C-alpha cells in the first residue's frame, strides 16, 4: 500500500459523506446562533468549554462500554445494538473505511439528541444551537482522528504518533485496552493504557464474538 500524504489524506477524507454532514450541521447550528436575538455571551463560552473538557472522556467511555457491548441475552432471546454490531465489523475489517467512519443515521440521531439536550438544559434555541455546533465540531475532530489512524499516513508529530500507536494496539494487539482518541493520556489515567509489552495478543482482537467473558469489555 502506498503511504498516504497529509494532503492526500485530507482530500480523501472530505470526499466522504460523514465529514460533509458534520460540517453542515455545525455551520447550520452556528448560523442559527448568530441570528438569534441574544448576542454571544459567557454562557456560550461555558457551554463550549464544558464540551471540550467532557468530549475526550466521552470518547473513552463510549468506546469501552457501548461500542464493545456484548449481546444482552434474555432466555432464548438476544439483543445487540446496531452500533456494537458495526464495531465488530470495524475490528474485523479495520482497513475498510465503510466500517471506520460514522454512519449517517447515527450522526443525525446524535445531532437531534444534542440539540434536544441543549434545549432541555437551557430552554433556549440559541444555546441549544451552541451546544450542537460544538458537539458536531468535536465529532468531526474525532472522525478525522479515527480516520487518519486507519490510513497509511505516517504520523509526524509526537502527539499524533501516540494516538496512532494506542489505536493500532487496540486493533492489532488487544481489544481490551487503549480506548482513547483525541486525548490519548486518558487511558493511562483510567487504567486502560498498559505497556503493550505486558499484554498478550488477544485471540479475539479481530473477532469480538470470540471474546472471553471473564475479561474486561
pTM for this model (two decimals): 0.92
Q: Looking at residues 135-140, what average pLDDT do you find?
A: 98
Q: What are the residue ranges spanned by the domains of the chain? A: 15-154
191's torsion region: left (phi>0), alpha (psi -120 to 50) or beta?
left
Please write the tens of the pLDDT for every residue from 59-84: 999 999 999 998 888 888 888 999 99
Please write the tens of the pLDDT for every residue from 41-51: 999 999 999 99
Please write the tens of the pLDDT for every residue from 105-129: 999 999 999 999 999 999 999 999 9
Please write the tens of the pLDDT for every residue from 6-37: 999 999 999 999 999 999 999 999 999 999 99
Q: Which of 119, 140, 128 is nearest to 44 (CA)?
A: 128
Amino acid at each position: 500500500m502506498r503511504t498516504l500524504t497529509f494532503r492526500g489524506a485530507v482530500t480523501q477524507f472530505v470526499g466522504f459523506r460523514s465529514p460533509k454532514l458534520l460540517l453542515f450541521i455545525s455551520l447550520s447550528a452556528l448560523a442559527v446562533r448568530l441570528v438569534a436575538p441574544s448576542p454571544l455571551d459567557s454562557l456560550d463560552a461555558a457551554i463550549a468549554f464544558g464540551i471540550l473538557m467532557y468530549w475526550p472522556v466521552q470518547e473513552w467511555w463510549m468506546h469501552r462500554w457501548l461500542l464493545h457491548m456484548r449481546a444482552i441475552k434474555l432466555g432464548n432471546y438476544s439483543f445487540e445494538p446496531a452500533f456494537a454490531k458495526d464495531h465488530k465489523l470495524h475490528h474485523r475489517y479495520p482497513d475498510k473505511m465503510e466500517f471506520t467512519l460514522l454512519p449517517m443515521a447515527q450522526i443525525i440521531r446524535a445531532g437531534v439528541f444534542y440539540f434536544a439536550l441543549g434545549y432541555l438544559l437551557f430552554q433556549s434555541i440559541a444555546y441549544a444551537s451552541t451546544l450542537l455546533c460544538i458537539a458536531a465540531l468535536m465529532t468531526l475532530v474525532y472522525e478525522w482522528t479515527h480516520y487518519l489512524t486507519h490510513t497509511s499516513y505516517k504520523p509526524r508529530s509526537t502527539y499524533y504518533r501516540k494516538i496512532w500507536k494506542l489505536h493500532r494496539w487496540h486493533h492489532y494487539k488487544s481489544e481490551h485496552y487503549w480506548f482513547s482518541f483525541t486525548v490519548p493520556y486518558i487511558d493511562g489515567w483510567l487504567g486502560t493504557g498498559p505497556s503493550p509489552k505486558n499484554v498478550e495478543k488477544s485471540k479475539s482482537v479481530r473477532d469480538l464474538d470470540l471474546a472471553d467473558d471473564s475479561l474486561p469489555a
